[in-house]
């Protein structure tokens, strides 16, 4: 197992950031939209605490699952 942290200094971060930044931005936008929608509709969604955990714990997939499936489950 390589535990030498000096390898990080050799990485060309200027080439990596343009690839990672759009993915990170998409993740943050999805997270914000899902959390806003959950907060707005918390009184009509079944098990809002469980959906909050799904959104927060399953990173990018969690907000997508909530927006596709969780918004349909409305009746309490």
Q: Is the pTM of this model over 0.75?
A: no
Q: Does the residue 27 lie in any domain?
A: yes
Q: Does the residue 34 lie in any domain?
A: yes
At 60 the pLDDT is 83
Q: Does the residue 75 lie in any domain?
A: no
Exposed e or buried b per residue across 33-49, where buried means at least 16 C-beta atoms within 10 angstroms of its C-beta = ebbebbeeeeeebeebe
Domain containing 50 equals 5-70
Residue 34: pLDDT band by 50, 70, 90 thresholds? very high
How many domains does the chain divide into?
A: 1
Q: Does the residue 24 lie in any domain?
A: yes
Residue 75: pLDDT band by 50, 70, 90 thresholds? low
């Amino acid at each position: 197992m390589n535990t030498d942290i000096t390898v990080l200094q050799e990485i060309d971060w200027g080439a990596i950031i343009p690839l990672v930044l759009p993915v990170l931005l998409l993740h943050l936008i999805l997270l914000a939209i899902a959390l806003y929608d959950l907060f707005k509709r918390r009184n009509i969604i079944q098990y809002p605490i469980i959906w909050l955990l799904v959104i927060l714990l399953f990173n990018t997939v969690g907000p997508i699952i909530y927006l596709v499936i969780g918004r349909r489950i409305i009746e309490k």
